Amino acid sequence: MATSGGPLVVAAIDFGTTYSGWAFSFKHDFEREPCKVSAKALIANQLASQKAPTCVLIKPDGKTLDAFGFDAETRYSQLCETGEHKQWYYFQRFKMMLWDKLIHKDTLLDDEFGKSLKALTVFALSIRYMKEDLSSMSKNQVSGMNQEDIHWVLTVPAIWNDSAKHFMRLAAEEAGISSQKLTIALEPEVASIYCKHLQVTMDGEGGVSSFRPGKKYIVLDAGGGTIDITTHEVCFGGELKELYKATGGAWGGTLVDKDFLDFVSELAGKETVERFKEEHMEDYLDLMRDFEMKKRSTRLSSKGRVTIKIPLTLMDLISDIKGRSLKQIVSMSQYANKAELTGEKLRLEDDVFRSFFKTSVSETVKHLTEVLRKHQTRGVEAILMVGGFSESPLLIETIRNEFSRLQVIIPPDAGLAVLKGAVIFGHCPTSIKERVSKYTYGTNKTTIFDEKKHPEEKRKIHKSGEVRCKDLFTTLVSAGQKLVVGEKIGKRKKYHPMSENQDHIRFDIYTSTERNVEFVTDDGCKKVGSVLVPLSGTGKERVVYIQTVFGGTEIMVEFEEASTGLITNTYVDFLL
């Protein structure tokens, strides 16, 4: 059923820190109404959503998925009640383990109570669940459809490094998604694409589009785990180009949750909270869902008190462990005049509740201020807020107050902008025209040693007797360099094997944040990946032409064997 000019179906997975969503659209629907996508409606307690909690329950064998999302939360709570949970694996909010860490194919991930599994297994099982659910949803709408008809899009934060992106590709492949049928998409980019298609209007402009050609704006993608900040300009053809490299940090909505839990631990004790979580998981989830509801409605201007229901099981644990009731602890704490416990209701003054947002919001404002000082962001007129945390009234009001000279745009369903944008991106992957390189990329090489310019410690005598200089850095692209999507960088380079029976040529990839790098051993320069280019036949006379392709969401290498004319593209392996 595949059609020419693009896939029949695009299916997207927005793999979030707190919540994950999956959706799809058919080509004919996209052509009529690009923003219309199909997603499953999910309901648990008071929360109704088109996303599910990023929670996965794995059976004691460490290989078999039992449940995902709300079902995983419920099922694990039941296991806790009967004491069976200790042999099972329960992971939640685990996406952040890929942020700014050294990872490899065998990296381990600890579950909620310290039991370890391969991170690749946990991510792959999660993706497989969403993939299979999506496939069944789309098949219900069109009979006779197969996997070849579907192109998959998997989202990642733009601030992630190359190894984290490559990890997600490997996890998707392990989940049964063909690499040729998979696109890795950057979250703020696809959210920007979605909003451009919506033709969001700026406040006070009487319906004039914010996305007319030449318009420059910042995308503030506030998710559960990370804050991604990207600067875009609308091109005259309607495509988008990145003006300044993506930056940000781990200041998302889960940081607010953490500060709230730190507050509870300050009162109840860390040991008490850990026991509460282990022995009464259902009550713990109810507490956090209640907090989530209050978090979503808190404003800068709120006055009065915020009421949070404290489970009786937690209060009983506090009495048993601390020897005092929670009411007594609150009355004797530094919050005595700002908090009150009546029955099961903890009433907090608004300024105490707002303090849970302080670190997250202040770091976001600070970083956004720094980005707006860059010469590349001159002419920016608006801030486009997307991501689930961008629906927080407190964050919205703070951004509007702090950056009052700029228009602040929040699209309808800001929390679904990444998911819907990912589907659109899958149908029209040329929506992004230009990106900016975050790093300087290069390879290592040797050359004839020149004692006038090469340091003595770089002298190397080759087995042929030739004296060469080792560890030279050959720049492929420089940090801050503009990269046109799909454009091949530099000239094709010609390589020969060093031995008769050599079956591959290996290229190591190095990065640095500096623009000018001389040797791969320079401070801040590090090896991050490699490419194995296969060779057929035998003999030293064999020739392979190699060229790197930058500008996409992942770095590719194109190689051609001269003897066969066969051209192959491969991704750089960033998981050393």
Compute the average pLDDT of residues 140-167. Answer: 87
**pLDDT for 64 beyond 60:** yes
| pLDDT at residue 423, rounded to an integer | 96
Q: What backbone phi and psi angles, to 5 degrees, belong to 84?
A: -85, -10
Question: Please, where are the H alpha helices in 83-118?
Answer: none
Between strands 55-58 and 65-68, the pairing is antiparallel
Asked if 45 and 63 touch (Cβ cutoff 8 Å), the reply is no
Mean pLDDT, rounded, for 387-392: 94
Q: Is the pLDDT of residue 142 over 70?
A: no
Q: Is there a contact between 459 and 467 (Cβ–Cβ < 8 Å)?
A: yes
Starting at the edge strand found earlier in the chain, the sheet holding 216-222 runs: 407-409, 382-386, 216-222, 227-234, 240-249, 432-436, 482-484
What mean pLDDT is predicted for residues 461-465? Answer: 79
User: Which residues, including other chains, have CB under 8 Å from residue 483's CB and lie 6 or more apart?
Assistant: 434, 435, 436, 437, 477, 489, 550, 551
Q: What is the mean pLDDT of the chain?
A: 90
Confidence class for position 351, pLDDT limits 50, 70, 90: very high
Averaged pLDDT, 221-240: 94
Tokens of 516: 């000018």
| 424 close to 197: Cβ distance less than 8 angstroms | yes
| pTM, entire model | 0.91
- pLDDT of 198: 82
Is pLDDT of 200 > 80? no
pLDDT at 1: 38
Q: What's the average model confidence in pLDDT over 514-543?
A: 90
Q: Return d(Cα 109, Cα 184) in angstroms, integer.
A: 22
* Closest of 538, 370, 518, 378 to residue 444, by C-alpha: 518
Q: Count of residues for the chain?
A: 576
Q: Which of 256-260, 505-509, 520-524 has the lowest mean pLDDT?
A: 505-509
pLDDT at 201 over 50: no
502: confidence class by pLDDT, cuts 50, 70, 90: confident
Q: Among 142-146, 472-476, 548-552, where is mean pLDDT lowest?
A: 142-146
pLDDT above 50 for 235: yes
Please give the pLDDT value at position 45: 57
Using CA atoms, how far apart are residues 126 and 17, in angstroms rounded to an integer?
Answer: 12
Residue 542 pLDDT: 87
- Of the pLDDT bands very low, low, confident and very high (cuts 50, 70, 90), residue 211 is confident
Q: What is the DSSP string of 201-262?
A: BPTTSTT-BTTSTT-EEEEEEE-SS-EEEEEEEE-TTS-EEEEEEEEEES-SHHHHHHHHHH
* Structure confidence at residue 333 (pLDDT): 94
Mean pLDDT of 325-352: 94
Right CATH for 188-251+358-433 from 3.30.1280.10, 3.30.360.10, 3.30.420.40, 3.40.50.620: 3.30.420.40
128 SS3 class: helix
Supply the pLDDT for residue 203: 41
- If you average pLDDT over each of 304-318, 498-512, 522-536, which comes out highest? 304-318
19-47 per-position pLDDT tens digit = 999 999 999 999 998 888 988 776 555 55
What was the pLDDT predicted at 46?
Answer: 53
Spacing of C-alpha 76 from chain mean position: 26
Class of domain 437-571: mainly beta
pLDDT of residue 204: 40
Residue with the bigger pLDDT between 344 and 43: it is: 344
Tens digits of residue pLDDT in 278-289: 889 999 999 999
Please tell me the distance from the alpha carbon of residue 169 to that of residue 172, in angstroms, as a whole number.
5
Task: State the pLDDT confidence band at 48, using cuts at 50, 70 and 90.
Answer: low
Query: Which CATH superfamily does the domain covering 9-185 fall into?
Result: ATPase, nucleotide binding domain (3.30.420.40)
**Tokens at residue 131, please?**
């993939």
The answer to whether residue 207 scores a pLDDT higher than 60 is: no
Q: Is the pLDDT of residue 3 over 50?
A: no
For range 367-396, the mean pLDDT = 96
Confirm whether 9-185 and 188-251+358-433 share one CATH topology. yes
Over range 389-393, report the average pLDDT. Answer: 94
C-beta separation of 521 from 531 below 8 A: no
Question: For the chain, how far is it from start to end, CA to CA, in angstroms?
Answer: 39
Report the alpha-carbon distance of residue 474 to residue 491 in Å, rounded.
13
244, β-bridge pairs: 231
Domain residue limits, the chain? 9-185, 188-251+358-433, 253-355, 437-571
